[in-house]
Structure 1
């Protein structure tokens, strides 16, 4: 089962943190832009190659210390078919380096459309990307998720359903009240229902939830509802989430969440904290240092709260 394998890797590395591969143009070092674009900023193929080279360097510096990466498709998709090929190359390279691939694609549709999405991202047949897990939007209801569930149960894959996202305006819809409960609570109950009967050896099922690290009280409430569902927690670092907010997102076994950081890792060389020791040409080394610092900070807070998984 996907979750059991993920937990094994987490414990092996003593690390609950994952790296978001969000190669925003402004994060990419100038020396790479000069090398690959050569003044042709509108050339989609060159831009896509730039994204791949940048992402590959990040992966080369973190693959042995984090269990998974979360490539965000939007930063690749914006460059059309060339960008999509770069996304596939990044996923393939990370997989060859032994990383779990959680594709941040937020898909959700009905019928055959959803089936096609599930085949591309989680399938193993011709043209499939064969990711380990993806993010899923539940807004269209149960039948928009069922094809992904089949891949989880029969294909050792995982999904993370959007429940309470990290952005400030998530309150616009997710915090509305219906039948005495917040919308995100109803979403959480659906996640619990979808995972019933599919627990792995560690007690977790492959139906996870996206729960933002920027809403501590809500995160802790959702942990009490979704005991057997793994959390993918965005919002750490650049969005304002801190390690001290996160222990309540974990169960008493010290498991239950993976914490994502994107800009704070891949753009670490731009941060004041790391500028003294790393320049733009050593952005990969800066990313590794930031990933190790994040690991140590989160582990320290978990230890203080007696939530240690190893």
Structure 2
């Protein structure tokens, strides 16, 4: 379904995809080292063969794929053309595409990013986009408005696993409404919760929360259950986080987690059947870890 008027909200489509295929998102991260491991040249043609082989293997078999835009952009305009092919392949296969571009800016620039990655008719517009709120959540308004109008979704960076992220995400400032102290991460989650209010089964504004951040949600007062949206979680299963770690990170919000696996699946290539088997195994592991 291509028209926004016919497209169900992203949250509802993602919930259905997770129910059908398990809570796995396969990251498409064409590192130069992975291209080399697959015997491919580090150029646009190698990138294309890599990305479309992954889509052949997992399209229609996993809940979502997540192409990392940077690894396409490094090959210039021909690389962006491959990203457009990945988005189209996901649409043809009925697999949700989360474009991992982590865009975040202000005013007309954010509006242009939204237009590129969320507007109907744009060849770069998948089903959802990762965005950064650290210029202020309000700076994301053009992306929020266009995503929700077009039936697409956002994953907003909230609690990431990189050590440097704590400097900003755990920082405490007065709430602009109440004056009470609140962490940046808690404020981001509260804004997402407000946008998802009343949505069923899932809202369309999710968060990115690393599966290896330990008790960060609790220590920062970040209410992941109240978000009522999907939680994109790098680091589940073979990448380091098992059931005990996931209970500590997500608590009662575990049922809303979309586990992201990249190298754990991609290193099985370039054989299509091996990639497919690795993805199905990762989906089963994620479901078990999040159960």
- After TM superposition, the score normalised by the length of structure 2 is 0.85
Compared with structure 1, are the counterparts of its residues 228 and 29 closer, same or farther at alpha carbon in structure 2 (3 Å cutoff)? same
CA RMSD, aligned part only?
Answer: 2.3
Measure how far apart 1:250 and its partner are: 6.3
Runs of 4 or more consecutive aligned structure 1 residues displaced over 4 Å after TM superposition: none
Cα deviation 1:264-292 (Å, max 9, x = unaligned): 1112x3xxxxxxxxxx652x333222222
Cα deviation 1:79-127 (Å, max 9, x = unaligned): 11121111111221222111101000011111111111111111013x4
Cα deviation 1:175-219 (Å, max 9, x = unaligned): 2233443322222222223333xx3331x2211111111113224
Compared with structure 1, are the counterparts of its residues 148 and 201 closer, same or farther at alpha carbon in structure 2 (3 Å cutoff)? same
Counterpart of 2:128 (choices 127, 133, 136) is 133
Bigger radius of gyration among the two: 1
Secondary structure of 1:229's match? coil
Task: Name the residue aligned to 1:306.
Answer: none
Task: Name the residue aligned to 1:289.
Answer: 277
- After TM superposition, the score normalised by the length of structure 1 is 0.80
- Number of equivalenced pairs: 274
Counterpart of 1:208 (choices 206, 209, 223) is 206
Does the Cα contact within 8 Å between 2:196 and 2:227 map onto a contact in 1?
Answer: no
Unaligned ranges ≥5, structure 1: 42-46, 270-279, 304-310
Compared with structure 1, are the counterparts of its residues 218 and 163 closer, same or farther at alpha carbon in structure 2 (3 Å cutoff)? same
Task: Name the residue aligned to 1:154.
Answer: 149
Separation in 2 of the partners of 1:103 and 1:281?
22
Does the Cα contact within 8 Å between 1:250 and 1:256 map onto a contact in 2?
Answer: no
Unaligned ranges ≥5, structure 2: 1-8, 175-180
Separation in 1 of the partners of 2:69 and 2:199?
29
Measure how far apart 1:27 and its partner are: 0.9
